[in-house]
Amino acid sequence: MASKLLLVAVFVLDLIAFGLAVAAEQRRSTAKIVQDSEVNYNYCVYDSDISTGYGVGAFLFLMVSQALVMAASKCFCCGKGLNPSGSRAWAVILFIVCWYVVFPDC
């Protein structure tokens, strides 16, 4: 029962993070070019940037989701030290791949 509850909790957190990421993409800041008449040059004026808040919220929900999975599986730092093995190596590889998929520019 606990594993089903964990699965539902992680799914809901990831779904919220996805919704926030889509909202951040939809609310990207835009710029207008304004000409300064005194100095005679152009500059950009940006509107309010709520998308950064949405992006940070999505990141935090993903972090909480990842922490829940790590705590439940006693992976990495959330349990007693595991012996080096193929399973631990795959856990590290998949952890890095997971974050690279979320943040490909890093």
pLDDT tens digits, residue range 75-106? 666 556 556 666 667 777 877 887 778 777 65
Domain annotation covers residue 81: no
72 vs 8: which has the higher pLDDT: 8
Look at residue 80 and tell me if it is in a domain.
no
Q: Judge whether 60 lies within some domain.
A: yes
Rounded to an integer, the average pLDDT of 30-50 is: 81
Contacts of 75 (CB under 8 A, 6+ apart): 69, 82, 91, 95
Between CA 89 and CA 93 the distance in angstroms is: 6
The DSSP output letter for 80 is S
| Range(s) of the domain holding residue 6 | 1-75
Looking at 20-29, 44-53, 54-63, 69-78, which range is the least confident one? 69-78
Count of other CB atoms within 10 angstroms of residue 24: 20
pTM (two decimals): 0.62
Q: How buried is residue 13: exposed, middle or buried, by Cβ count under 10 Å (0-12/13-18/19+)? A: buried
What is the Cα–Cα distance from 71 to 40, expressed in whole angstroms? 59
Residue 13 lies in a domain: yes
**Which two structure tokens, joined as six digits, stand for 41?**
């040059």
